[in-house]
Amino acid sequence: MPNPSRLRAAVLTATALVLSGLLAGCGGGSQEDDEDLTGQKLDWKDCPAPSEAEGGGAAPSPLPDGDEWQCATMRAPLDWDDPEGDTIGLALIRAEASGAADRRIGSLVFNFGGPGGSGVTTLPAFGQDYAKLRTRYDLVSFDPRGVGRSDAVECLDDKQLDTYFQQDSTPDDQAERTELVDNTEKFNAACEKNSKKILPHVRTTDAARDMDLMRQVLGDDKLHYFGISYGTELGGVYAHLFPRHVGRAVFDAVVDPTQTAEQSSLGQAKGFQLALDNFAEDCVSKTEDCPVGDTAEDVKTRIARLLKDLDRKPIPGVFPRELTETAATGGIAQALYSKDFWEYLTEGLEQAYDGDGRVLMVLSDALNGRNEDGEYSNITAANVAINCADDKPRYDPAYVEGKLPEFRDASPLFGDYLAWSMLSCTDWPVAGAADHPDVSAPGAPPILVIGNTGDPATPYEGAGRMVDALGKGVGVELTYKGQGHGAYDSKNRCVQDAVHGYLLDGRVPAAGTVCS
């Protein structure tokens, strides 16, 4: 059952790479020169192929100028309340600055979202998009604790996950509700059995402390940071804990830090419905006929009918698995993350109407971290572990049932799917930390906060609320009137000029700037 917070904060990496077969990544080692972790020396080496937990595939290709990606492992305390106790390894990747040494600003640390996404595989996949930033920064990313190569959270194995994702996550009767609850309990019990030691230590506050250690180990006085999706929440928590250590920072595809898990899920229901509305309008507005409906309402009606039919009788997907209602809903949601993927959604729907569920299944697999070899990254396990450690509320089936009308009103298509996903943390073995993160950061320098009016996963309103929560004089809001999850990677010139102007030259755009 896909967790709503993964939908809230998923990056586009998985879809692009599963569809293209270009998965890439790395890991590394460290050198223990100093008992003080801030004095450790990183042993940068060529990157090996990514682990299964990172998504599998080949080692990253060289950069366009021929330089190689480098990888290392940084040691960090397992428990930040016991900094001299056991340590864990955090996998890092970097591309050294390409410009003149006297123009280098420092390291620019990326977190691409999830929570649970591997930065070590994502950064090289999109490295060319950040070539201009590389002229003055070493580009750096990492697998946060519990993710990928960084002491990954482990729950179910690949075969068990195939079965888990075939379940009906929008139950219609008591038997289906019981099965959903039982499967959730089994998943959570497997996480506790296989990862008991790490589960209490994967909160966002832990990852933020890791980033401040990383800043010091990389040799930077300030943390220069680019956070995307969940990465904006992590960046906000970092700014709250270490306001005086914040350098130049950009938040893109902004998580609303004021919401509970329930409010976030409800906001996503509205956001994905808006994206679906925009997809339908776009399809029928083209000069040629829309192959999945005659009008926007017809497109949505036919999709709803398809999902009902799949609930009764799945169709062939990626052999030997079938495309179920749940898998199709996840595949549709994943395609709505970027306008670039709308063509795949149209193709997938057209084929599904003819009884072929392969394209929608591939999209669903991307959401769940499954590669073409049938191996799963640990994004689902890490996502649940981090969110459940962060989020204090726990919801039971009776509570969810009472909320179904509100969720269905927000989205006839995604409402049930997101409402029932709130059960993910019900029996989690670790208590949640808070209702929502604290990102107040008095004393921090300006942080550029970019909201996209058409973002399905992190609705636009969250950007304004992040600005307010950061505090007066800190958050500077920029609006992008576009589609998809995030703004910088849309290639919009106005957005990129604003980001480059700030990160490269320290020019803060005027608050309220609008790009379209």
Q: Which of 65, 66, 54 is nearest to 122 (CA)?
A: 54
Q: Mapping DSSP to helix (H, G, I), strand (E, B) and coil, where does residue 215 land?
A: helix
Q: Which of 17, 250, 10, 6 is nearest to 125 (CA)?
A: 17
What are the residues whose beta carbons fall under 8 Å from the beta carbon of 309, sequence distance 6 or more?
none
Catalytic member of 224, 240, 436, 485:
485
CB contact at 8 A, 469 and 440: yes
Residue appearing with tokens 């080949």 = 58
CB atoms within 10 A of CB 372: 15
Burial class (CB in 10 A: 0-12, 13-18, 19+), 322: middle
- Start-to-end C-alpha separation, the chain: 35
CA distance 269 to 219: 42
- The amino acid at residue 187 is F
Burial class (CB in 10 A: 0-12, 13-18, 19+), 319: exposed
Q: Catalytic annotation on 229?
A: yes
CB atoms within 10 A of CB 435: 15
Query: Which of 98-134 are b and which e, b meaning 16 or more Cβ less than 10 Å from the residue's Cβ?
Result: beeeeeebbbbbbbbbbbbbbbbbbbbbbbeebeebb
CB contact at 8 A, 179 and 405: no
Tokens of 48: 């090996």
Catalytic member of 390, 455, 489, 490:
455
Compute the residue count for the chain. 516
CB contact at 8 A, 262 and 422: yes
Q: H-type helices in 67-142, by residue range?
A: 119-125, 131-134
* Vertex 400: Cα angle to 199 and 461 (nearest 5): 80
Tokens of 4: 């709503």
Catalytic member of 229, 364, 377, 490:
229
Q: Catalytic annotation on 82?
A: no
Tokens of 256: 């609303």
CA distance 431 to 427: 10
CA distance 439 to 445: 14
CB contact at 8 A, 392 and 435: yes
Q: Catalytic annotation on 224?
A: no
CB contact at 8 A, 462 and 251: no
CA distance 415 to 407: 4
Residues serving a catalytic function are 229, 455, 485
